[in-house]
Structure 1
Amino acid sequence: MALRITVIGTGYLGATHAAAMAELGFEVLGLDVVAEKVETLSAGRVPFYEPGLEELLRRHVAGVAGSTGRLRFTTSWEEVGTFGDVHFVCVNTPQKQGEYACDMSYVDRAVDSLAPHLTRPALVVGKSTVPVGSAERLARRLTELAPAGEAAELAWNPEFLREGFAIEDTLRPDRIVVGVRSERAEELLREVYAKPIAEGSPFVVTDFPTAELVKTAANSFLATKISFINAMAEVCETAGGDVVKLAEALGHDDRIGRKFLRAGIGFGGGCLPKDIRAFMARAGELGADQALTFLREVDSINMRRRSHMVDLARETVGGAFLGQRVAVLGATFKPDSDDVRDSPALNVAGQIHLQGGQVTVYDPKGMENARRVFPTLGYAESALDAVRGADVVLHLTEWREFRELDPQVLGEAVARRRVLDGRNTLDPVLWRKAGWSFRALGRPTA
């Protein structure tokens, strides 16, 4: 009999995982405690932007014309417990208010709500990013609460999704990591991921702690690499170097590689910042805090980039923002997403606004979410509208649309042709040729 899969939590991770599991051929039931979210997904709509996800959802969600009908959504824990053989827990683990530590309340609540409905053998698979040691505790809790007892097993299968590439990362992952305690759990997960494994995705079997550590270690490494090149940008600013050429030269060394070596205003989003802070907090609890003290500097460098962009913009407009019109291109933390969580672009825009600047923001996908976070900023319907009358233009999210802008056309709309490239993706030659004063972070001589 074919496995039936449930996905608990239908946010970014859960909705993507549910649609991808249906694409792999499984009958899937997604659960969320928010009825409005269930209604939206059941109608074949995604309440956030991820390229290709809505099309994938509509291909499988029951009730949509022409769909396979393999995917449904519910608010009923009892229905989920009865339906599923493998239950993926995909709920959020945000940073605790006023602390570095991770808030485990959503994961705990999911296990406590699901377990009493597990009356037959089942595998519960954690995908949420959690502090090391959580799986051990949750496995005990699951056995204690489930009527099936030890036949209700736990496994840990961390996610490695990149926003903008989530479908690809789920259907064709660069690795599948599973923390398991039995051959049965491993066999079930090999069955779930049979197609990606057959297509060449490595399948790495570990214990619980290692599986939990893989995600936080990976994010910590990526954050460190980004902050390293941003630290080099600070040195280039004072030494007169060009951080883009420096990164190019470093990237030719295959021990280092080119990825994540673009200097700019730093990283943001719902993962990297909170994950490295939670990792530091957990290391402290385990008595290994000295092992991760370098992450404090990684975090510090990252936050400093935002302040540096604000300082550079203030210097560009003559030393004060009062009465100055500032156009900000970008609100999301990265392109191909509508996610503004801990967005460096929006943070910079907000700081300038609080210092008296008249800020107008444009983003291809993040406008609605940006308005919720910063309702007092000005918003425009296009890049051209955003720059009208501007004294300086800030490029803060590297959308392709912004790289393809015509600086000559924009130049006719602004008050002064001054642009600051916070992502090092604009062509300085092209912009200067159109009469712009061009400045990029870490490239004082470019």
Structure 2
Amino acid sequence: MPYRLTVLGTGYLGATHAACMAELGFEVLGLDVDHSKIERLRRGELPIHEPGLEELLQRNLESGRLRFTTSFEEAAHFGDVHFICVGTPQIKDGYAADVSYLDSVVESLAPHLDRECLVVGKSTVPVGTAQRLADKLVRLSPAGQRVELAWNPEFLREGFAVQDTLRPDRIVLGVASERAEKILRDVYGPLGEVPIVVTDYPTAELVKTAANAFLATKISFINAMAELCETAGADVRQLSQSLSFDERIGGKYLNAGLGFGGGCLPKDIRAFMARADELGAGQALGFLREVDAINLRRRTRAGDLARELLGGSFDGRRVTVLGAAFKPNSDDIRDSPALDVAAAIARQGAKVTIYDPAALDNARVAHPELDYAGSALEAARDAHVVLLLTEWQEFVSLDPEELGAVVAARNLVDGRNALDAEVWRCAGWHYRALGRP
């Protein structure tokens, strides 16, 4: 008999995992304590923007393979395999990860687990969390030792989450028994031939944080080179292109610009450092402090470039910011570099207007002090400087003459190195970009 799956937590990760597992043919029950979110999901409405996911959600609701609930008791009785997909945000007063949502799920689910089942953590956690939760499950569940835990980290990229779930480049299984391994191999069997790494809890926990730390380091490395290029009069795009031909380095994540943000990389590298400190190995990850600092400095520099174009002051000037999401094809504004720069410029006296194809509603809630527009041209009307800070294709494809016709001055900061500098300069724009002459 096929396993029945539950997905506990229906945010970005959970909603994606639930819809994709149903697409693979499983009966899936999604759970969340947020009643309004569950009602929206039942109607086939996504609380997030993710390409291709809403169609998947609606198709599997109609098929009956996917349902949603707010009842832990119902989830416990329904599921053979329970995937935990709740967030682990950064704590308010430090770098460590807040794992209270994980504990809450385990404490709410465990008392209803009265038969053999597998609980699978997918959240990004400090190393050591899985073993602690495994012990808690056994202690709190009526089924005791028949309730097992596995750790199966996710590697989703926002904007490509459906693709990354249905066509993953690897699957990591942190298990404590052959039984748990077999169940998860069966669950992921419909994906076909995918590399599977079977390991212990600590290694599975470290894989995700190590991957994010490596990506953050690579991004900050090229941004550090951009800082050097600016002082030396060199071009970081040509430098990056030259490096990318070296197969030991490669070109992915080697694009200089405003740096990384979002709900994963920034908080995950900080939590990684905090956990290393707790384990007495903080010195090993000391370099990540500079990775974080380089990333934040790029935001300051983007504002500096805009101010230089305006003769040294934002006071009373109209500024357009194109982009609010931390990356294109997403409405996620968590730790968004674009919004961070926009807010900083506004504090210096500018009147800032923002446009983003998907993230305006979220941005308005987070920054009501800023102005918002319904299109790029509307946002740019009478602007003294335009900053491209999220590289949506809509912005990359802008016509410099059409945009130039509505602005007060043709000043442009390309915070993502996404535009052809010569095309914009030939159209009369004063073009500046991070790491370029």
Distance 1:94 1:275 in 2: 8
User: What is the CA-CA distance between 1:68 and the residue it aligns to?
Assistant: 1.2
Letter in 1 for 2:195: P
Q: For residues 419 and 213 of structure 1, what CA distance do their matches in structure 2 show?
A: 41
The correspondence for 1:415, drawn from 399, 408, 433, is 408
Q: 1:217 aligns with which of 202, 205, 210?
A: 210
Contact 2:176 2:200 in 1 (8 A): yes
**Which residue number corresponds to residue 370 of structure 1?**
363
Residue type of the alignment partner of 1:101? A
CA-CA distance at 1:98 after TM superposition:
1.6
Q: CA deviation at 1:51?
A: 0.3
Instruction: Show the 5 A alignment for 1:325-404.
Output: 325-404=318-397
Tell me, in whole angstroms, the C-alpha distance in 1 between the residues paired with 2:277 and 2:203: 18
Distance in 2 of aligned mates of 1:385 and 1:288: 52
Q: Percent identity?
A: 68
CA distance in 2, matches of 1:432, 1:172: 41
Q: Note if 1:156 corresponds to 2:131.
A: no
Counterpart of 2:294, as a letter, is I
**Equivalences for 1:177-188 in 2 at 5 Å?**
177-188=172-183
Q: Offset of 1:320 from its aligned partner?
A: 1.1
Aligned: 1:122 with 2:117: yes
Return the letter of the residue paired with 1:193. Answer: Y
Which of 426, 432, 437 in structure 2 is aligned with 1:439?
A: 432
CA displacement at 1:60 relative to structure 2: 0.5
2: CA distance between counterparts of 1:308 and 1:201?
42
TM-score, normalised to structure 2, is 0.99
Counting only pairs closer than 5 Å after superposition, residues 103-252 of structure 1 correspond to structure 2 as 103-196=98-191, 198=192, 200-252=193-245
Q: For residues 68 and 186 of structure 1, what CA distance do their matches in structure 2 show?
A: 29
Give the secondary-structure state (helix, strand or coil) at the position aligned to 1:193: helix
Deviation for aligned residue 1:310: 1.1
Aligned to 1:64: none
Match of 2:21, SS? helix
Within 5 Å, give how 1:238-317 maps onto structure 2.
238-317=231-310
Give the distance between the partners of 1:268 and 1:179, measured in 2 at CA. Answer: 28
Residue 391 of structure 1 aligns with an amino acid whose one-letter code is H
For residue 5 of structure 1, what is the amino acid of its counterpart?
Answer: L
Alpha-carbon distance between aligned partners in 1 of 2:279 and 2:151, rounded to the nearest angstrom: 20
Structure 1 unaligned blocks of 5 or more? 62-66
- TM-fit CA distance, 1:165: 0.3
Partner SS state of residue 172, structure 2: strand
Displacement, 1:433? 1.5
Amino acid at match of 1:410: L
Secondary structure, aligned partner of 1:88: strand
Alpha-carbon shift at residue 342 of structure 1 (Å): 0.3
Aligned residues: 437
Q: For residue 350 of structure 1, give the secondary structure of its aligned residue in structure 2.
A: helix
Distance 2:71 2:204 in 1: 29
Most deviating of 308-317 and 296-305: 308-317
Structure 2 residue runs without a partner (length 5+)? none
Q: Are 1:406 and 2:399 an aligned pair?
A: yes
Tell me which residue corresponds to 1:27.
27
1:208, 1:46 → 2: CA distance? 32
Amino acid at match of 1:126: G
Task: Quote how far apart the aligned CAs of 1:201 are.
Answer: 1.4
How does the TM-score come out when normalised to structure 1? 0.97
- 2:97 is aligned, of 79, 102, 112, to 102
What is the deviation of 1:430? 1.1
Query: What is the root-mean-square deviation of aligned Cα atoms in Å?
Result: 0.6
